[in-house]
Every structure is written in structure tokens, then in C-alpha cells.
Amino acid sequence: MKIAILTDSSFDGNLKSFKDLYQVPLLIVEEDGTTHFSDDKLDDNFFYDLLEKQILKTAQTTPGEMLKVWDKLLTEYDQIIFLPLSKGLSGQFSTYRMISETEEEYKGKVFVCDTNGVSIINQEFVKKVAFWIAQNKKGFEIMELISKSNEDFIGYIIPKSLDTLKRGGRISPAAASLAKMLKIVPILRYDGKIDKEATARTFKKAINEALDLIKKNAKGVKTVDISYSKMEPETLTEIVKIIEEKGFTINLKSQITSVIAAHTGKETLAIAAWKK
């Protein structure tokens, strides 16, 4: 049996890392309604220029685009394992789980999995799924294995600047101004959705605090994955140094895709670790 792995563009890994790995684009929408596919054809500099000038929205993959990809893959593969953006961040999972279970041509062929993931989390799930496929596991079993693994990670998000969060209405202008005045950097917990965890007085202290939280909540873990939006090379070098000085090694390191950076803005860091 041939099985394809499908992700959406919240996944920021290398699509060439597995021969049976494919991707569908999520959408980025400008204030005037102009829509862009969030894929490798969207120039990074063009995207960040847009982000500086306006509030960008994001949207699910259109049904027309998604089903076109499903139909094409099913001419070559017997099953598709689809690893979408977390249900806590988008309706992508719910929409396409329903279609996969109600439309006759996709029943038992397309398996929309509840990853709770995004970015580096879904990079790890791609590796897990590829391993399970190599063990001759199939659709329903893989979907069940993912649902049993989707709480095995711990993650923290640290935005160096609150400008994009403020403009997008995800933090109030008053709160953003107060945080800037007091030089407070938020530490956000990620477990499939995003919640406030703690604060620190500087970006560097916030990174250290997040790493301490990983040590506390994922005892014995020595490896972390990181992803980040556009930032100066010197900032990234400093981040890596802080992580290594805390006794961690970095497994995955990648720049988050535009569809996620549209919400976080520039200079945002995510750190994740697997408890198991």
C-alpha cells in the first residue's frame, strides 16, 4: 500500500526530506481582500513589507484547492495522512476531517489527523508518520497513534515585539503600551492553542525563563526544537548561545512560514520539547 503524507503551509520543514511528502497552501489576505497563497512562491521580503504596512488575515485552504490535491494524490497513492494546523488555531482540521468522513470518495482513504501542531511540532509528526509507514502501519492506526501523541510536547512562544499582535487585535493597545513602557516580554504557552504563561523584563530573560519551564515540566529533556520569524542573524546567534548555555542541544531549527508570522510578527521565537 502506498501512503502519502500531506501537510499545510503552517509546516516549515523541508518538503524534500521525504519522497512522499506534499503540502497545500493556507491563505494570507490583505486589508483590500487581495489573497496570496502562503507557499514557497510568496517572496519573504514581499510578505514582511506587507506585514509592516497593514493588518494581514489568514484563512483556511479553499475546498477547491484541497480536494484537487486529494484527488491528484489518490491517483498515485492508496491513502493520504493529512497533518494540518492545530484545531486550536484554525478551522482547517475540523473542515477537512468532516469532508474526509462524509464524502464517499474519501472515506477510508484520507485521514485528517488531530496533531495539535504547527511548525516544528508538525515537523516531528511528519518524521513519526514516515517511521510508522515504514513499519507498515496504515491510516486508522496512524491517526490513532497521532491522537495519543499530540499532548507529548511542551512549547513556548516569545515575541520580541508586540506590534503585530497589537495591530491584529490579539493584545490590546493599552496592554501593549504598558508592556513596552515597563519593558515586559510575554512568555506564551503553546499546547495546541496559545495562552499566557509568564512575563520577563527582557527578551533574553524570557528565553531563559522558557527554558527553565521546559526543565521543570519536561524533566530530563536535553533537546529542544526552535522556530522563529524574520530576525537579525546576531539575534538568532544569541538565542542559540542561550539555549546551549542552559545545557540543551538544538534538534530542529527553522524559520516559521508567512501564514504564522502574519500573526506573530517579526522577531518571534518558539521553543518546543518532547516529553516522551
**pLDDT tens, position by position, 116-169:** 999 999 999 999 999 999 999 999 999 999 999 999 999 999 988 666 555 544
Average pLDDT score, the chain: 91
Q: What's the CA gap between 139 and 158, in Å, rounded?
A: 35
Q: What's the confidence (pLDDT) of residue 165?
A: 58
Q: C-alpha grid cell for residue 266? A: 517579526
Q: What's the CA gap between 207 and 2, in Å, rounded?
A: 42
Higher pLDDT, 182 or 203: 203
Cβ–Cβ < 8 Å for 121, 115: yes
| Structural domains in the chain plus CATH codes | 3-26+61-149 (3.40.50.10170), 153-274 (3.30.1180.10)
Q: What's the confidence (pLDDT) of residue 167?
A: 52
Residue 105's alpha-carbon distances to 91, 118, 138, 141, in angstroms, are 22, 28, 18, 20
Higher pLDDT, 119 or 174: 119
**What would the 3-class secondary structure string for the chain be?**
CCEEEEEECCCCCCHHHCCCEEEECEEEECCCCCEEEECCCCCHHHHHHHHHHCCCEEECCCHHHHHHHHHHHCCCCCEEEEECCCCCCCCHHHHHHHHHHHCCCCCCCEEECCCCCCCHHHHHHHHHHHHHHHCCCCHHHHHHHHHHHCCCEEEEEEECCCHHHHHCCCCCHHHHHHHHHHCCEEEEEECCCEEEEEEECCHHHHHHHHHHHHHHHCCCCCEEEEEECCCCHHHHHHHHHHHHHCCCEEEEEEECCHHHHHHHCCCEEEEEEECC
Sign, CA dihedral 240-242-245-250, equals: negative
Q: What's the confidence (pLDDT) of residue 199?
A: 86
Cβ–Cβ < 8 Å for 257, 52: no
Q: What's the confidence (pLDDT) of residue 174?
A: 47
State the average pLDDT over residues 100-112. Answer: 97
Q: In what order do the strands lie in the sheet with 249-255?
A: 194-200, 185-190, 153-159, 268-274, 223-228, 249-255
For the chain, give the percent of residues with pLDDT over 90. 75
Q: Is the pLDDT of residue 181 over 70?
A: no
